[in-house]
Amino acid sequence: MAINLSRNTRLWISTEASGGTHTNANTFEIPVQEGYSFSQSVSTTDVSVEEAGPAPIRGSKRFNASLDPVEWSFTTYMTPYLEGSTHFTVDMLLWHALASSNATVVDLDNGTGTSKVFGDTSSFKVDFENNSAHVLTELYLYFLVDNTMYYIDKVQVGQAEVSIDISDIGQTSWSGQGLTYLPITVPAFVAAGGTSFDETSVASGYVRVPTNKSYLVNKLTLMSLNSDLAPGLNAGVNDNYIIPITSGTVTVNNNVTYLTPNTLAEVDNAIGSFTGSFEVTGTIEAYLRDNVGSDGTTGTEYGSANLLAHMLAEVGDAVTNAANIVFQVGGGTGSRAEITIPLAQLSVPSLSIDDVVSTSIEFKGIPSSTDLISGDEISFAFFAE
C-alpha cells in the first residue's frame, strides 16, 4: 500500500480518448502548479413528510438523482518557446480548445486552413474568430497523481484567467468540466515517459516538455490604453494613457453548461455540453497619479488620475465608452505575451484609500459587430526569445 503525494503529479492533455492512438500531434504533457483539483459530486433529492396529529411521521429520505459533471482546475505558467524558428507555448492545446471548435488539432505550426490558433516565425497567435459553435474542441485529461492515473472524459475548457501579479511569474488559471472521471491503467505513452511517440508522423515543433521554455516576469509588464474619453483639446480623437499597473487580471469565459437528464428511479449522467455567451472581462490595479502637462499625445500620455477625471466628466452623457487596451506581459521586447482588447467598456475607476492611494478599473471586452457576433473581443500573441 502506498500513499500518493501531489508533488509527484503529472498531467497529459489529448484530443484522443483512452485507448486511442496518442502521438506528438495530439497529446501534450502540461506542467502544472500546486493547487490543482478535480472532483465529481452527486446531486440528491430529499423527500420528507409533515403531518398533524399526536404521533406525526417525521422521517425523510434521500435519493441519488444524477452524477454531476466533473469540475477541474489547474494553473500553468505562460512559457513560450522556439522550435526552430516557430513560436509555440507549452499550453497551446488548452488555448486551442478555449478558442476553437475544430474537432482535432490542426495547423498549430503553420496557420493554414481554418485554425486561428497557431505558431509561426513571428509569434504564437490565439484568436477567437472561430468560436461561434455550441461545442468547442473536446479534450481528455490524464492526471498521474503519484501512483494512480485518473482519466477525465470529454472535457470542455470553460475559462482561462491570466493573472498579472507584479511579484510573481506570468500564469494562466484554467478551469472547466468533463463528463466523468475514473482511475485507469497507466497508458503506454505515460509509462514510456512520452518518448515512445512516433516523431516521424507529425509536424515539427511538437515536443513533450520543452527544455528551452521562457518564463515571463510580471514586474516588466507594460499596459497602454487608448480612448477618446478625454475632453478639451483632443476631444473626439483617441488619446493615450500609460498606467503602470500594480496587478491585473484578464478572464476569458465560454460559460459552458452541461445537460443532465432527471429520470425517476435512475442515477443519470451528463449527456453533453454547450457554450453560453462569450465573455472577456478584467481588472487593472494601479496607483492614483496624473501626468503633469500631459495632453494624451505620444510622449505626454495621461495617467490613472486623468482617466478617473475624464470618466467622471463624461459618464453622465454616454451609455457606452470604448477603449483599446494592450498588456505586454514580460515587457515590450524579448519573451512576452501581448494581450489585446480592441474595444473595452470601462467602468468608472474606484479608489482605495491607503498610505498610497490606488485605483481599480474594471473592463469588459465587446465585439466590434453591432450584431454582437463574438470572436474579436480579445487576442493573444506569445513571443519566445
Same domain, 238 and 312: yes
* CA separation, residue 150 to residues 33, 72, 73 (Å): 17, 12, 14
Asked if 72 and 155 count as a contact pair (C-beta separation under 8 A), the reply is yes
Give me the pLDDT at residue 201, please.
42
Residue 368, pLDDT score: 87
Q: 151-198 pLDDT, tens per residue? A: 999 999 999 999 999 999 999 999 999 999 999 988 877 765 544 444
Low-confidence stretches of the chain (pLDDT < 50) are 194-207, 233
Distances (CA, A) of 44 to 263, 267, 269, 272: 12, 9, 13, 20
Is residue 53 within 8 A of residue 147, CB to CB? The reply is: no
- End-of-domain residue from the set 213, 242, 264: 213
What pLDDT, on a 0 to 100 scale, did the predictor assign at position 198?
Answer: 41
Residues 209 and 223 in one domain: no
Q: What is the pLDDT of residue 20?
A: 83
In a domain, 272, yes or no: no
* pTM exceeds 0.85: yes
State whether 374 and 288 are in the same domain. Answer: yes
Q: What's residue 317's pLDDT?
A: 67
Q: Are 201 and 293 within one domain? A: no
**Residue 57 covered by a domain:** no
pLDDT of residue 204: 36
Residue 222, all three cell numbers: 507594460
Question: Do 148 and 178 lie in a common domain?
Answer: yes
Q: Which domain holds residue 177?
A: 6-39+67-213
In a domain, 49, yes or no: no
Do 184 and 89 sit in the same domain of this protein? Answer: yes
- Tell me the H-state helices in 279-344: 304-314
351 located within any domain: yes
Question: 242 is written with which cell numbers?
Answer: 500609460
Burial 134-173 (b: 16+ CB within 10 A, else e): eebbbbbbbbbbeeebbbbbbbbbbbbbbbbbeeebbbbb
Mark whether 248 and 345 lie in a shared domain: yes
- Kindly compute the dihedral angle of the four CA atoms of residues 313, 316, 317, 321, in this order, to the nearest 10 degrees: 80
59: buried, middle or exposed (CB in 10 Å: 19+, 13-18, 0-12)?
exposed
Q: What pLDDT, on the 0 to 100 scale, is given for residue 107? A: 58
- What's residue 37's pLDDT? 95
User: Quick one: 155 and 223 in the same domain?
Assistant: no
Instruction: Give me the amino acid identity at 73.
Output: S
In a domain, 52, yes or no: no
Question: Tell me, what CATH number does 203's domain have?
Answer: 2.30.110
- The pLDDT, as a whole number, for residue 206 is 39
Give the integer Cα–Cα distance in Å for 55 and 156: 52
Q: Are residues 230 and 367 in the same domain?
A: yes
Q: Can you tell me the distance from the alpha carbon of 64 to that of 115, in angstroms, rounded to the nearest whole number?
A: 43
Distance between CA atoms of 190 and 209, rounded to whole angstroms?
13
Residue 18 placed within a domain: yes
**pLDDT digit string (tens) for 54-100?**
999 989 999 988 889 999 999 999 999 988 888 989 898 999 999 98
In a domain, 233, yes or no: yes
Tally of domains within the chain: 2
Tell me whether residue 292 is in a domain: yes
